Amino acid sequence: MASWSRQRIRRESVLLAAMIFSVAAVALSFNYWSATRLLRQEVRESLRHLVSIAARQMDPELVAAITRPEQTGNSDYRRASAPLLELRRVVPEIYYAYVFINTPEGLRFTIDSTYYIQNQNSASAVSVGDLYVDPSADALEASRSGVITISS
C-alpha cells in the first residue's frame, strides 16, 4: 500500500509539474506575441511619422512639374527626390520610397528614390510616367485616400 501511495504522489507531482509548465508556456507565448505585435505597431508608427516629415518637405509644384520620362534624373528630379533620399539615408532598411500619381490607366510613378540609391539584387529604377504594374492593396488605398501608407 505504501508503494501505491508513493506512485500516486509521484504521478500527481509529474502531472502538476506538467500543468504548471503548460500554463507558464502559454503565458510566455502570449507575452511574446503581445510584445512583438506592439513593437511592430511602434515601428510602423515611427516610420509613418518619418514619412510624413519627408512628405511635408516635398515641393508639390516641383513634383507636379515632373511629367515626362526625359525628366528622370535631371536637376528638378534630383531636388524633388531630396526628401525621399534623406528618408532612405536616415532609415537604410527602407528599400523603396517613391511618389506616384493616379491616372485613368492606373498608378504611374513620378519620383523613385532608387534612381539614386540602388537596392541590391533589384531591377533598375523606374522612369517618370511608368505604370505601376500590379500595385499592392496598400498603394491603391493610399492613392484613393491620400493617406500615407507603410508597406512591408
Q: Which residues contact residue 65 at a Cβ distance below 8 angstroms, ignoring those fewer than 6 apart?
A: 76
Residue 103 lies in a domain: yes
* Beta-bridge partner residues of 112: 98
Residue 151 lies in a domain: no
pLDDT per residue as tens digits for the range 89-141: 888 888 888 888 888 888 888 888 888 887 766 666 678 888 888 888 888 88
Domain span at residue 141 reads 2-145
The pLDDT, as a whole number, for residue 21 is: 95
The pLDDT, as a whole number, for residue 97 is: 85
Q: Which residue has the cell 510602423?
A: 44
Residue 52 lies in a domain: yes
The pLDDT, as a whole number, for residue 20 is: 95
| More confident: 4 or 51 | 51
Residue 85 lies in a domain: yes
Residue 152 lies in a domain: no
Residue 47 lies in a domain: yes
Q: Are strands 106-112 and 98-103 parallel, antiparallel or unpaired?
A: antiparallel
pLDDT beyond 60 at 52: yes
| Confidence (pTM) | 0.69
pLDDT per residue as tens digits for the range 18-47: 999 999 999 999 999 999 999 999 988 888
**DSSP code per residue over the chain:** -HHHHHHHHHHHHHHHHHHHHHHHHHHHHHHHHHHHHHHHHHHHHHHHHHHHHHHHHS-HHHHHH--SGGGTTSHHHHHHHHHHHHHHHH-TT----EEEEEETTEEEEEEEGGGTSPPTT-PPPPPTT-B-SS--HHHHHHHHH-------
Residue 78 lies in a domain: yes
The pLDDT, as a whole number, for residue 38 is: 95
The pLDDT, as a whole number, for residue 123 is: 66
Single-letter code of the amino acid located at 60? P
The pLDDT, as a whole number, for residue 37 is: 94
**Mean pLDDT, rounded, for 46-68:** 88
The pLDDT, as a whole number, for residue 19 is: 95
90-93 long-range contacts (CB < 8 A, ≥24 apart) are: 90/50, 91/47, 91/50
**Mean pLDDT, rounded, for 39-60:** 88
Residue 24 lies in a domain: yes
Structural domains in the chain (count):
1
